[in-house]
Every structure is written in structure tokens, then in C-alpha cells.
Structure 1
């Protein structure tokens, strides 16, 4: 059985868990990874629906913890008669801090969370996929990388997500000869637990600045992002080293 590893999947109303449900519906077993212990509850929720799922608590900036998580995910896959064939590097943190107020500690923390875990997991699973002759890796970038920051994101967040795009293209070139398709998704404003409070307050006050620049006229949903990830994970075929923008037309390069 094919297994998908998804990071940042502890929130019940988040992008990671929406991705998990989409891929489970396509028949994949799941390994959910998150810093929050809530990730085990999400795995249990899926297991209660007859889906084979494992939840792992892991600090993705800690190389030893990542190594342990990779081993646990691999053992889980083998026990089910399969391999890890899909990796979704979704975990990340955002900050709206302006340049003048960004400290060195905040800069390094954000870069470590948004980049290091993606690198470590891609290194581990990507090489294994290449040795077996195939797989798919999807990295989560952001509209902030394409347009430079935004209402919810500072320059350090935009820089980290731009780095995700650069890493994705380089990894795609290196791993594609082994049958591994590496791509990225760049969401725009998505209504999640992180943004919902601000969006509700704006709606109640009649403020429209958050959706005024979205031609589709609404924020996206986690499932909007999950559908793009599903395509890249299972249906993309010859699509390699690309970025799918899921932003309702807010940024059109």
C-alpha cells in the first residue's frame, strides 16, 4: 500500500489535515507529522474511519527527531506492505513582523521551521524514492514568495517561502531522473485556524481589504489547496519542478 507523509497536519481545520483526507480518499495510508501532540488525535480520527494512519510528534528542525520520524514512517509503510511514495512538506510558521522589528532569533527560527524540515525530509524520503524508481514530493510555498510579503506575512516569511521555490526546482532537476516528481503549491489567503479570527473580525466590521484583491471574491479553503496537492501527488504525470498557485487570481505572474 502506498503511504503519504504529510507534515503540519495537527489542526482539524488546517491545510495539512485537508490534504490527508483527500489522499486517504484515494486509497493511501497516512503518516501525519506535527510539532503539536494533537497530530495523534488527527490520526486516531482517521483510523476511526477505517483509514490506516499514524501520528508522529516531531520538531522538524531537530535532525535526530526527524531521523526517528523517518524510521517510524518507513516501518509503518513496510508493515502495511508498501513504501512512502508521497511526501507533502506542509509544515510552516508565519509572522507579520516588519523588517525593522525582526530579531535575529525570529529570523533564524522562521527559516529553521520553514526550510530545515523540508530539506531533511526531502533528503531522506526523496533519495529512497529515487532508489525505488518513483514518487512525488510537494512543497508548500506561498503567494508571499511571489509578490513579497502581505497582510499576514513579513519579509522573513516571504524569503523563506521563496527559498522553498528555489529548493523545489533544484530538487526536481536532481530527482526527476529517478522518477521522483518534485513540485510546489503556493496558496494565497486561505481561511484556516490561523487566519479565521482576523477574517471574521474584518467581515463583522465591514472591512474588505483582505478579499478586495482576490478576483474570485473570497478567501480560499484548505480543501482548495488540498485538491492541488492531490493532483500533484497522484495525477500530475509529466509535471516536474512547477508551482501551482492557489490564490483565486490574487497574483497572476
Structure 2
């Protein structure tokens, strides 16, 4: 699944799952730009590490919820690398709270980042992809889209919205050579899951058929496949990478 000659853009790419995706795509030969919002130190460290390995990498500071900043980020990528072949919308946040006490800000922040951010970058990036008549879009969903968890009505709504958005987008762009798919992680060892893991410990692992938490590299593997030529006949799909969590068995 060689990506030499391809150009990728990853949002939320400085740490966690995003960092693993950036490293995987760069390791496969792609030129990779990634967006970060606040952690400049982590972004610069990742860029320096990959450049030392011979990869072409560009770190871009942007707020994904801003249409203007999304447009500018995509323009930076196409100016620097001449094209854009792969878009991975990974940026996401949580602002958990029960519906009865959730504030408007908690709702708005999650929807603006997780869902509107996907719209912003997809609209900006696919203009180039359509003119190239080639593109791979991978939007990060979550098992939360169809696996209920109290306190996450905003997060679940954003992720379910991403899946519906992606299916419609896949239908619109298929004739232009652009595929659109989602990856839905389960419990992955990242900063976002630390609190949950600390609260429930081994109970979480017992609920997962493969009896372990996922690693960011497990998600990066799936993204790499969907970004490659080998996935050319797959579009409008959601690939759950959850160790069997959503199978619903009692094993």
C-alpha cells in the first residue's frame, strides 16, 4: 500500500490517533500536512521527527471549526505540494454532560469541531480532488454513533452526523473518482480515554471480545488501507475498529 507521490492532509494530527495516522501515511511515502490547534510543541516535535526520517511534512495551525481557516489550510497544502489526494478528518473533542444539565456551549463546541469541522475541510479539499478526478476522504466517526453512552448526546450526535454526511458525500463524488469512508474507533489508548479507563479499569477490557484496548496504530492501519489504491472499490462505508465491542455478544 505504497503512497509515494500522494499528498495527505490530517486534522488533529499532533497527538494520539492523529499522530499515528500522520506517521503511518508518511512512512508509506506520502507527503503529509497536518493541522493542530494549540499544542505547537507537539506539532513541531512530530514534524521534526518525520523530517529526520526523510519525509516531507508540513504542520499547520488552524481551528477546524473556522471555514476561513480550513480554506487557508487546504490552500497552504496545495501551494506547498501541488495537489491533495488524501484527507483524514480526525480532529475531535468531548464535552461530556447529561442532557438535563448540558450547556449550550458544551453542545456547540462539540458540534462545531467534530461535525462542522468535517464539513469545512471536506468542502475545501474536494474542490481539488474533483478537478484531479482522484481523492480519498476518511472521516473519523466513533462507536458512540450507535453504541449509547450516557452523558455524550453531543458527541454521539456529532459522530452519527459524520456517518450520514459521509454516505451522502460518497454518492455525490463517486463519479469524480473520490471515495469517502469512515473509521469508527472503539476504546483506544489516548488522552481522551484516560478518564474512562481509570474509572472502569479491567471491566472495559472484559467488554471487548479481543480483551484489550486498541492502540492508535490500529486506527492508523485502517486509515492507511482506506487511503490506498487497494480500497478503490469501497465508498460510503463505516469500518469499525473496536476489537468486537459493538458485536453485542456476552463472551
How high is the TM-score relative to the length of structure 2?
A: 0.91
The worse-fitting range, judged by mean Cα deviation, of 90-99 and 35-44 is 35-44
* d(CA) in 2 for partners of 1:28, 1:104: 40
The number of residue pairs the alignment matches comes to 241
Is the aligned partner of 1:134 residue 2:129? no
Seen in structure 2, the aligned counterparts of structure 1 residues 21 and 181 have a Cα distance that, compared at 3 Å, is same
User: Where does 1:79-228 land on structure 2 (aligned, <5 Å)?
Assistant: 83-149=83-149, 154-196=152-194, 198-199=196-197, 202-203=200-201, 208-228=202-222
Identify which of 37, 46, 59 aligns with 2:63.
59
**1:91 CA drift (Å):** 0.4
**1:252 CA drift (Å):** 2.5
Aligned to 1:16: 18
| Alpha carbons 1:3, 1:28 under 8 Å: kept | yes
| Alpha carbons 1:90, 1:140 under 8 Å: kept | yes
**1:47 CA drift (Å):** 0.9
- Tell me, what secondary structure is at the counterpart of 2:117? helix
- Tell me, what secondary structure is at the counterpart of 1:84? coil
Seen in structure 2, the aligned counterparts of structure 1 residues 95 and 211 have a Cα distance that, compared at 3 Å, is farther
The worse-fitting range, judged by mean Cα deviation, of 141-150 and 241-250 is 141-150
* d(CA) in 2 for partners of 1:172, 1:197: 35
* d(CA) in 2 for partners of 1:34, 1:165: 23
Deviations 1:145-164 (A, max 9, x none): 021236xx611100100000
How high is the TM-score relative to the length of structure 1?
A: 0.91
- Tell me, what secondary structure is at the counterpart of 1:184? strand
**1:214 CA drift (Å):** 0.5
Stretches of structure 1 lacking an aligned partner (at least 5 in a row): none
Is the aligned partner of 1:5 residue 2:4? no
